[in-house]
Amino acid sequence: MAFINYFFPQKIRFPNSKYNQNLVVIDYGTSATLFSENLIESGKIMTHIWGTGLRQLLPGNFSPRSVLLLGLAGGSNATLIRQKYPQAKIVGVDIDPVMIEIGQKYFGLGKIKNLKLVVEDARTFVRRLEADEVFDLVLLDCFIGDKIPPQLENLKFIKNLKDHSRYLLINHLWWRGHQAATLRFMRSLATKFVFTKTHTWTNTIISLV
């Protein structure tokens, strides 16, 4: 079946969830891609985007013991972190339980060692953290379709999140009509934070210093 899917990929549609619409998985047998409203949420492209950010924005000798993933979706970023930092304990947070179910069925999410899954709003999760609870690395990758909830771009939220992270990386879109919104967000960030960034063809990864 996997060999056949490579040449004739299987398209699986899912009912709309409370948070995501037009959910589709394209299953190639040996890999899969998850779409929500035509935006890729998990798969090889997301692995490339986050791999570029980790490689270019973190120190070469960086070896995190704890990683927080906000916006887990199917879990491509969790798989990448496990491969790159096998010793790290990972907490993956997503507001949508349907995304986690898809990740477990099609992306091996349930097989990732030292991964704790949390179904919760990112803001609520961050608010509940103890004052001295700090993650070595935090990836913020929260989208509803191709939009980032405005409350997750609020500088107060970003400051709170930064207080709980040694390194904080934020994913933004950089294709078609999304550059203007990303530039506005970076201008807003610049009023309170110092940051660096890197680009792929489609995305910008921002690292708060």
Instruction: Tell me the two tokens of residue 147.
Output: 């939009």
Edge-first strand order for the sheet with 115-119 is 115-119, 89-94, 66-70, 135-140, 165-173, 203-208, 195-199
pLDDT at position 177 is 87
Instruction: Tell me the two tokens of residue 16.
Output: 């709309």
Helix (H) or strand (E) holding 106: helix 97-106
Q: What's the pLDDT band for 4 if we cut at 50, 70, 90?
A: very low
pLDDT in tens, 146-165: 899 999 999 999 999 999 99
Average pLDDT over residues 182-202: 97
**Any idea where the domains of the chain sit in the sequence?**
41-208
Average pLDDT over residues 158-178: 95
Domain 41-208 superfamily per CATH: Vaccinia Virus protein VP39 (3.40.50.150)
Checking if the pLDDT of 7 tops 60, the result is no
Please state whether the predicted TM-score (pTM) of the whole model is above 0.85. yes
| Dist. CA 207–CA 83, nearest whole Å | 21
Give the closest residue to 167 by CA, choosing from 135, 121, 120: 135
Mean of the per-residue pLDDT values of the chain: 94
pLDDT in tens, 26-79: 999 888 999 999 899 999 999 999 999 999 999 999 999 999 999 999 999 999
